[in-house]
Structure formats: structure tokens, C-alpha cells
Amino acid sequence: AWNPSEESLRSLTRGAQQLIHRDLPWEPLEVAPPVALEVFSHSRCKQEEVEEKSAQSPKGTVMLYRCGDHVLMSGGPLVARTGLCAQYEVTAIHPLGEGEWGLHHRAQGLSLPLQLQAHHTVWRKLRSRAENLVEVPKGSANEAFLDTLTPPSSPEQTPPSTAQQ
């Protein structure tokens, strides 16, 4: 099984920090299913999710979010702009097991808003906690919320988290 090195995690962190410094908006885009299917033409998994979400939507539309060149579907809250994050670090990538669409991983990280800075000793403690796999108990209130997030997982797996990356 693949286990990311500390350098790999630092590289992911640097990529995210570049997005933060660009202060890009997360733009909500309500689109018709054919548009979303074209956006995700590279991923059958995402296309199935588009079909599910549009069938569940009263308007028959799909809500996408764009940040620069990146487009995603998310049922969760997003910050308005990438620049609202200050301290940020990708802390771990956990394997979740095999699912319908292949091996699933959960990327976890830690971020503080621009207005809140943590002393390096506090940050280290927070970082240490953020390295641990976050599991959502079956039947919890958060499980229904996480079921709306991407990518879909098979029933026997814990749904992936959307730590803002």
C-alpha cells in the first residue's frame, strides 16, 4: 500500500499554499446536467454523481464550485476565498480501502483562518491531532452530510472527508 512521505505531504501543502496566496474565490455555479457531465467527462465516477445529484435536485440542476481552473461538487461549506486561510498544512493521507471506483484515500489537513494565528507549539499539537484518521460513526448526523460529498464510497466504507485542501 502506498504511504506518502513527509516530502509528499509538504509538496501538497506548498501547492495549497500557492492557491491561498492567489486569493481565489470559490465561485458557485448552478449548471444543467449536460454541462456538469462535460466538465467531468474524464471521470465516470463523477458523471454518475452528477446524474444522482441532478435527479435529487428540485430544479434538476447540479451545484459546482470553481476555484481558478479547478471545479468540484461539494455538499459541504466552503470558504469564500482561498486567501481567508492563513496557516495551512496537509497532515496525512489515509487509505480507506477498495470501493466501487478503486482505492479510496482521505486527505486530512489543518487550517486556521486569517484572523487566528497559532503559536508554533499550539500548531504542533493541533497538527499531531490532525494526523489521526477522522472516522464518522455509522448512523451519526454527520454521516448523511458526508454522503453528499465526493467521491462516493461503497456502503461498507467510511465516507471521505473534505478537509479543505
| SS3 annotation, the chain | CCCCCHHHHHHHHHHHHHHHHHCCECEEEEECHHHHHHHCCCCHHHHHHHHHHHHHCCCCCEEEEEECCEEECCCCCCCCEHHHEEEEEEEEEEEEEEECCEEEEEEEEEEEECCCCCCHHHHHHHHHHHCCCCCCCCCCHHHHHHCCCCCCCCCCCCCCCCCCC
Host domain of residue 97: 1-23+84-165
**Domains identified in the chain, total number:** 2
Same domain? 43 vs 88: no
Counted residue by residue, the chain has a size of 165
Q: What is the predicted pLDDT for the residue at 154?
A: 33
Rounded mean pLDDT for each run of 10 residues along the chain, 165 residues in total = 90 95 94 96 92 94 93 84 94 90 89 94 96 78 48 36 39
Tens-place pLDDT, residues 105-132 = 899 999 999 999 999 999 999 999 999 9
Same domain? 3 vs 55: no
Q: What is the predicted pLDDT for the residue at 136?
A: 73
Residues 106/133, Cβ–Cβ less than 8 Å:
yes
Same domain? 67 vs 121: no
Same domain? 45 vs 115: no
Overall pTM > 0.75: no
Same domain? 33 vs 17: no
Same domain? 140 vs 157: yes
Residues 78/66, Cβ–Cβ less than 8 Å:
no
Q: What angle do CA 116, 110, 63 make, to 5 degrees?
A: 100
Q: What is the predicted pLDDT for the residue at 141?
A: 52
- CATH code of residue 49: 3.30.54
